[in-house]
Amino acid sequence: MGFAWTLVALAVVLALAWRFLGSYLAAVYQGRLTFLGWVERPVYRLLGVEPDAEQSWQRYAGALIVFSGVAVLLTYLLIRVQGSLPLNPQHLGAVPPALSWNTAVSFVTNTNWQNYAGESTMSYLSQMAALTVQQFVSAAVGIAVAVALVRGFARRGSPTIGNFWVDLVRGVLYVLVPIAFLAGIVFVGQGAVQTLAGPAVVHNHLTGFTQTIARGPVGFMEAIKELGTNGGGFFNANGAHPFENPTGVTNLLSVILILCIPVALTYAFGKMVGSVRQGAALLAAMGVIFCAWLAFTTVAESQPNPAVTASHAVAQHHGNMEGKESRFGPQSSSLYNVASTQTSTGSVDASADSFTPMGGFGMLTGMMLGEVSPGGVGSGLYTILLFAIITVFIGGLMIGRTPEYLGKKIQSREVKLAALAVLVMPIVVVAFTAVAVSVHAGRGGPLNSGPHGFTEILYAFTSQANNNGSAFAGLSGNSAFYNVAGGIAMLLGRFAIIVPTLALAGALAAKQVVPAGLGTFRTDKPLFVGLLIGVILIVGGLTFFPAAALGPLVEQFSHGRLF
Amino acid sequence: MAPPTGRSDRPSRQPDQPHGVAQARGLFDREILGQAAIAAVVKLDPRVQVRNPVMFVVLVGSVVTLAETIAHPSTFTISITVWLVLTVLFANFAEAVAEGRGKAQADTLRRMRSETEARLVAADGTETRVAASELARGDVVVCEAGDLIPSDGEIIEGIASVDESAITGESAPVIRESGGDRSAVTGGTRVLSDRIVVRITAERGKTFLDRMIGLVEGADRRKTPNEIALTILLAALTLVFLPVVVALEPFGRFSGATVSVVVLVALLVCLIPTTIGALLSAIGIAGMDRLVQRNVLALSGRAVEAAGDVQTLLLDKTGTITLGNRMAATFTPVAGVDERRLAEAAQLASLADETPEGRSIVVLAKERFDVRERDLGADHVFVPFSATTRMSGLDMDGVQVRKGAAEAIRRWVTDQGGTVPDDLDGIVEGYARAGSTPLVVAEGPEVLGTIELKDVVKEGIRERFDQLRAVGIRTVMITGDNPLTAAAIAQEAGVDDFLAEATPEAKMELIKAEQAGGKLVAMTGDGTNDAPALAQADVGVAMNSGTTAAKEAGNMVDLDSNPTKLIDIVEVGKQLLITRGALTTFSIANDVAKYFAIIPALFVSTYPQLHALDIMRLHSAQSAVLSAVIFNALVIVALIPLALRGVRFRPAGASAILRRNVLLYGVGGVIVPFVFIKLIDLFLTATRWY
């Protein structure tokens, strides 16, 4: 299948997902669908939750924090004691404390940064009960926050923003489990491994070598890994491994799964606030950025790698093939990796470290923009809504009115919370990178020196603070420093944004609606879309330009000279 | 006859023509500039600076570079330090200029207050002379021709003509009398004739004059809601650039570059939104000042901002939409009567009628049929209008001519044994439908026809309503007329809606209904019965000629008592926000060029490849940094006039305004610094500074 047809197929499926999955999501979170009530009700009883009791933003956030805290603890404990638990055919021992901390935080924050090789570190039980479970619930938490914020816009004079436990349970039951189950069947059907039988031992009689081939419950984990924009694979090689991502079909399916919920959420948003056009405007902004970055990265990767050219080692007729699976090639690999870094997924089907400087720049900057195009499940929507509030504030002033978005006045409290939530990520990235390049433990991480080494560190913290989890590779992350610092960066990148976002939801829900008129800044028009894109690019550009200049830009301007 | 209206019918002034309190001071009066230059230095006090987080960072930065300069003096470090201090000074200067204009006005007012002496009347009727500042609420004073009224109060006895020019700038005297809606007098105004007894209504130190002084001085200026929100955004931007810049030191060290602290400070100052940070308070002060120039006193900045948000304007018909008085428009005779005969009779009946309506009938008769004022014989008696007969006219040579309300004339004619023509009812009804008032004319028992008295819609008012509609503001006309008349005038004037037969309660209800729908409402009023509605409205503009109760209930006072001014106030409110938004956008957009100047300069010695980012091809690393800093400082000075005058507001839809401003200040803000930084660099090179 040609790359053009791949794109057409992707566009068609996403368009359908936008319309139908979007409307389904709205129905689920508005409580209009109850066909799984017989599963829901016992769960609520078990949790001791009154499903009809709505929560203020403080209680909502409190429940979310408590739930996530318990999740970190359980995940940590489970992988610490996996050696004494069943479903461990390789008899793998306890995961070390620092690595366990990093991993537990990583999966609870929907980051899925992996400082370990799954097949040689995690037992089957750990992969399933600890990691895969978090891939479901962390995704549901992200969607819940987005839905709570949308309710803030949709409601008038309301003291509550929904019930966290209901949003969490409904997200898992109605959305994630059914879709992941269907997609898992396709993965397994295409050849992804799904077994609890332990590694296969193959003896080659011709060479006399005995080879141990890692296997496990891979196929279904793969489905939620992509659907929940998690990105944490069973194997170290992630989506480049043929047992995870065996064919071109699964490669495209992965991209579809990554993008479908974030895209559909914009429709659900429009539906819930009473104007699908509002959702379409956000989608347009996401789409423009996504397409621009895809084009940029694809073109960059279709060029020969300047460093390889300089060495005169190999001919590069098909673009930059270093670190790419020959099943996918530069274009499909670019699509997969761009989709993964413009959401909070972070799975890869090619080595990002081997991308050309500009290809790597594309992936890095995709995250630096705050992952809004279309972003992670839920986090993409709430992050772009934060940007929309900033945009509306500046734009609204310029038309001479107290700015308003969807009829809600944007005043000092909203500006404070939105600015805080938007600026947490750049501050965390810059501060942690600065510390890492200053201390000995941090400088020891990268395999390369000079700008490429700098990029490796910068990429690691950009990825973790954005809850992306994509690894540039080339960085030895499994050290006490990187495990601990990365864990903190991931926590801040998740909860230091979620809490102000929920506070914002509470502030907005309490407000009355100003009726729209001729003097209102229309947020469903191209002008707003353009301005929103401008604000996203300016904020990302201004905060990361110096860092990007010292990393990928220097490399690019060096034309293949290695440091 | 129309009841006399309480307000004057002064022609509305051109809004940009300053008068009154704001005695024509140019935007950049030499004296003000001189004082502002001194104030700029005084304001370097860190306790003042800390209130503005953006400029405070610049000040701290300049201290850091100063320390660095003392440790390692060089032309470069000295130049940077000087320009950073200048940046702060320019910001202070902008604020001082804005304040200076108010201070000059306040000084004039203060002089007026201190010179006044009051004639206090004790309970037993004895008079003592006390200083005006000694007066307390409830004191009774007496003022005679030539006296300055010592404080705000209410006339309890007498009638006088008062010169209010000191406050309003209007030289024509106004009549003030006890009782009714024209009993309020303001301290600092001068009695021109007669004698009045005034009960003081203002607390000591809280007179209108005191409030005015405080207002124009900006003494109790508080940040408005949008200003606070913007300050937060600017502080957040400043906060994020701090780690971004500080991190460049370790980033540089990792890359093998030594980054100079001076350059880092320069970069930080260039990145944080200094342009808007420097001009923000000047914009606010100047906005209030622009209102003062239009003779409107806003008692809170919040109200000025709310004016920009207003979605519904309640406008009184009389005086705002129509001229104060009805004018004769046509003569319609009944069947069988010549129109000229009707006109002559109408003129006769109006000769002694000194009301504007009566004069307009005489004028119309002259225009239509050249009926001149004639010499009346000695044997004539004028019959003045009375509330019981509801007619006026003239008895001459045994002929009685009357004009009056249809019902009154009908009764008068029938009483004399005459008959009322069949077509009269039709004519009268037709007038009412068209929004006019019919006056029926009769000569003895014979009905001649009808004079049409029309409300004259002010010239240009329709266009202003169209403009308001374009910016999304709904206009509602308030009138005591019946619905038929109201509808006709509403249509002619082009308002969106009207409230007929309006009572204060109905007005109040309308405001509450609009507010319940989330809209902000503005209105004008002058009577005591307007007070509750003025207080309820988001923007309540009280006429200075109105009662004390009205003035206390509203949040603005129009010294000219010109209700049309409400429209100007809305524009000033919008202009204030647009100016802030535009300069914020400009400020942030500027950063792009500054990055392209400074980042290559910062690391070019380590990574010569980064020369590729130096798209302006600046002379050297040091000249690049210095050029950016100089641009950053000078742009503040260059934008002071814009900040004080405000971005031009053109009534248009939101999208059109936004598109224009984004293009001008957003896209322009990206391009302009590229050009000017290059030019400054060329200048520095040419003058061999570098």
pLDDT (tens digit per residue) in B50-59: 888 999 999 9
Residue in chain B nearest A397 by alpha carbon: B581
Nearest to B613 among A410, A435, A553 (CB): A553
pLDDT at position A221 is 95
Residue in chain B nearest A553 by alpha carbon: B610
Q: What residues have CB less than 8 Å from B221, skipping those under 6 apart? A: B284, B285, B288, B301
pLDDT at position B22 is 45
Provide the CB-side half-sphere exposure for B82 (13 A, CA). Answer: 10
pLDDT at residue B3 is higher than 60? no
| A527 with B655: Cβ contact below 8 A | yes
pLDDT (tens digit per residue) in B230-274: 999 999 999 999 999 999 999 999 988 888 899 999 999 999 999
The answer, for B255 touching chain A at a CB cutoff of 8 Å, is yes
| B233 with A419: Cβ contact below 8 A | yes
pLDDT (tens digit per residue) in B29-77: 788 888 889 989 998 888 888 888 999 999 999 999 999 999 999 999 9
What mean pLDDT is predicted for residues A18-45? 96
* A433: chain B residues, CB-CB within 8 Å: 247, 251
pLDDT at residue A563 is higher than 60? no
What mean pLDDT is predicted for residues A261-265? 97
pLDDT at position A304 is 86
pLDDT at position B690 is 64
pLDDT at residue B370 is higher than 90? no
- In the block, tokens 């009280």 appear at B542
The answer, for B301 touching chain A at a CB cutoff of 8 Å, is no
**pLDDT confidence of B114, banded at 50, 70, 90?**
low
Better-predicted residue by pLDDT, A217 or B204: A217
Residue in chain A nearest B598 by alpha carbon: A546
pLDDT (tens digit per residue) in A339-365: 999 999 999 998 888 888 889 999 999
* B309: chain A residues, CB-CB within 8 Å: 401-402
- Percent of residues, chain A, with pLDDT higher than 90: 80
Separation between Cα atoms, residue B458 and residue B492, nearest integer Å? 10
The answer, for B472 touching chain A at a CB cutoff of 8 Å, is yes
pLDDT at position B9 is 38
Which tokens hold the place of B274? 């200094």
Phi, psi (5° rounding) for residue A514?
A: -90, 125
Q: Which of A285, A287, A322 is nearest to A303 (CA)?
A: A322
| B581 with A398: Cβ contact below 8 A | yes
Size of interface A-B (CB pairs under 8 A): 208
Please give the full DSSP string across B327-383, using - where no structure is assigned: EEEEEEEPTT--HHHHHHHHHHHHTT--SHHHHHHHHHHHHHH-PPP-PPPSSEEEE
**pLDDT confidence of B12, banded at 50, 70, 90?**
very low
pLDDT at residue B26 is higher than 70? no
pLDDT at position B299 is 79
pLDDT (tens digit per residue) in A72-97: 999 999 999 999 999 999 999 999 99
The answer, for B689 touching chain A at a CB cutoff of 8 Å, is no
pLDDT at residue B591 is higher than 60? yes
pLDDT at residue B13 is higher than 50? no
Phi, psi (5° rounding) for residue B670?
A: -75, -45
pLDDT (tens digit per residue) in A466-476: 999 998 878 88
Q: What residues have CB less than 8 Å from B157, skipping those under 6 apart? A: B178, B196, B197
Among the residues of B124-207, which ranges form H helices?
Answer: 165-168
* B226: chain A residues, CB-CB within 8 Å: 397, 402, 411
Nearest to B609 among A395, A527, A554 (CB): A554
pLDDT (tens digit per residue) in B523-561: 887 777 778 888 899 999 888 777 777 888 888 888 877
The answer, for B438 touching chain A at a CB cutoff of 8 Å, is no
pLDDT at residue A322 is higher than 60? yes
Q: What is the pTM of this model?
A: 0.87
User: How far B611 CA lies from chain A's nearest CA (Å)?
Assistant: 9
* A306: chain B residues, CB-CB within 8 Å: none
User: How far B305 CA lies from chain A's nearest CA (Å)?
Assistant: 8
Q: Which of B316, B526, B558, B560 is catalytic?
A: B316
User: How far A382 CA lies from chain B's nearest CA (Å)?
Assistant: 19
* B649: chain A residues, CB-CB within 8 Å: 400
pLDDT at position B218 is 65
The answer, for B587 touching chain A at a CB cutoff of 8 Å, is no
pLDDT (tens digit per residue) in A168-203: 999 999 999 999 999 999 999 999 999 999 999 998
Edge-to-edge strands of the sheet including B190-191?
A: B174-177, B159-163, B190-191
- In the block, tokens 């308070």 appear at B281
- Percent of residues, chain B, with pLDDT higher than 90: 27
Mean pLDDT of chain A: 93
What are the beta bridge partners of residue B521? B312
* A543: chain B residues, CB-CB within 8 Å: 240-241, 244
| A454 with B251: Cβ contact below 8 A | yes
Domain-wise residue ranges, chain A: 3-264, 278-557
The strand pair at B539-543 and B127-131 is best described as unpaired
Active site residue B316: yes
Candidate from B201-215, B255-269, B466-480 with smallest mean pLDDT: B201-215
Nearest to A558 among B253, B584, B609 (CB): B609
A132 DSSP assignment:
I
pLDDT at position B374 is 67
Separation between Cα atoms, residue A126 and residue B47, nearest integer Å? 59
What mean pLDDT is predicted for residues A247-252? 93
